[in-house]
Amino acid sequence: GAVVSQHPSRVICKSGTSVKIECRSLDFQATTMFWYRQFPKQSLMLMATSNEGSKATYEQGVEKDKFLINHASLTLSTLTVTSAHPEDSSFYICSARRRGGGVSGELFFGEGSRLTVL
C-alpha cells in the first residue's frame, strides 16, 4: 500500500521558536498534499492544500504567515510553524493524494506529528 511518512513524530519546543514538519510520500508521487490539525477527541481540521510547484491554498481562518507550507517536489511537503506559541500545540497530520490515481482519489495519511510548545 501507499506509504506517507511524517517527521518528526513528536517535537517539544520553546515559545517563539519555529518548527518544521516534513511529509514524504515514500512509494508514490503526490500531486497534492494536505495538512490537518487534530485536537483531542475531535476530527481533522483541514489547514491547507498544497500542490507541487505552486503556493498552498489555506482554509479560512488559517494564518498563512504562521503556518508556512512548501511543496518542493512530488514526494515532499513541509509545514513550518513560525514563532510557535502554546496554543499551537496540537497533532498535525499530512495526507497525500497519489498522482494518476484516476477516479479513486484515495488519501493516504502520515502518522502525525505531535507538537508541544512550552
Q: Kindly list the residues in this chain that would bind another protein in the complex (CB under 8 A).
A: 4, 6, 32, 41-44, 46, 49, 91, 93, 95, 97, 101, 103-112, 114
Q: Cell 489555506: give the residue.
A: 58
Shortest spacing between CB 92 and another protein, in angstroms: 10
Which CA distances in Å does 99 have to 10, 42, 44, 61, 85?
Answer: 28, 29, 23, 29, 35
Shortest spacing between CB 73 and another protein, in angstroms: 19
- Residue closer to another protein (CB basis): 42 or 83: 42
Q: Cell 491547507: give the residue.
A: 48
- Residue closer to another protein (CB basis): 80 or 91: 91
- Residue closer to another protein (CB basis): 86 or 105: 105
The identity of residue 37, as a single letter, is R
How far out from the chain centre does Cα 11 lie?
Answer: 14
